[in-house]
Amino acid sequence: MKITSGAIDQLEHFSQFKTVEDFQRHVKKILVDYNNVFINGDQMALQMLALFSHEIPGVSNPSIASVVKASNEYVCLKPISRSTFKRMIQKAKAFGLLTVFETEKENGYQLSNLYIFNK
């Protein structure tokens, strides 16, 4: 399914979390429960995506380049690569932790994906 791009506040109905705190607890639980699945780089990538998912708890649509760039600037986390981010997304989708939708402009030009953390 493809979604036409719009303002981030139009995506609130995708959120499965009532508060940012509820979402943060969920991410911590994922990191503990799937510690053997998500290696260090994957964990960093998941945490970076979670940081982008606070405006609407559990929902974001950053570009991969934005996430990678932010990881290089964020002092608490080890930088990640584009391939690490994509690998983490594939693992998270396989375990049902994330739902990913492609977004596009009205003219059909693809934009950043929409990432939804699932409870």
Strands 98-104 and 2-4: parallel
Domains of the chain, residue spans: 2-117
List Cβ neighbours of 104 (8 Å cut-off, separation of 6 or more): 2, 3, 4, 5, 110, 111
Q: What is the pLDDT of residues 51-95, one digit of tens each?
A: 999 999 999 999 999 999 998 887 666 789 999 999 999 999 999
pTM of the model: 0.87
Q: Which CATH architecture has domain 2-117?
A: Orthogonal Bundle (1.10)
Residue 36, helix vs strand vs coil: coil
